[in-house]
Amino acid sequence: MSVHITFETPQDVQEQVYEMVKSLGKDGRGRLKKGANEVTKSAERGTAQMIVMAENVSPGELLAHIPMICNEKEIPFIYVEDQAYLAEAAGMSVGTKTAAIAVMQVEKDALDRFNEIKKHYETLTS
């Protein structure tokens, strides 16, 4: 397990996370920030509603500080396996990878899915 991973996310929950990201990014039901630097800034400012990080980031130290910031700012965070699949779900061009995304805004019609992921985070970290 990489240094930035603090808990294991079950496969079925990961699929739900990808679907949530897809509805927010590709389908335009929210606003996302993409990439480790943008995610770090939004976490430090406390403006992110949730952080999604890829597990297959190399080196893992790239994201090692994000869980600590999230805990300090009380921002939920969760992991998915693949950064290429995360980038695709976020609406980035094919062949692109992203280490992490920050959920900045969620439209009403995507709120149920977002809240469900948030509950999974609370269960996984309690």
Cis preceding linkage at 10, omega within 30? no
* Domain with 48 in it: 11-125
pTM: 0.94
Of the pLDDT bands very low, low, confident and very high (cuts 50, 70, 90), residue 4 is: confident
Q: Is residue 90 situated within a structural domain?
A: yes
* pLDDT tens string 30-41: 899 999 999 999
Whether 15 is covered by a domain: the verdict is yes
> Looking at the domain assignment, is residue 6 inside a domain?
no
The sign one gets for the Cα dihedral 114, 93, 100, 7 is positive
Rounded Cα distance between 116 and 19, Å, is: 12
Does residue 4 lie within any of the structural domains? Answer: no
Q: Are 61 and 3 in contact (CB under 8 A)?
A: yes
pLDDT in tens, 58-105: 998 999 999 999 999 999 999 999 999 999 999 999 899 999 999 999
Q: What pLDDT does residue 96 have?
A: 94
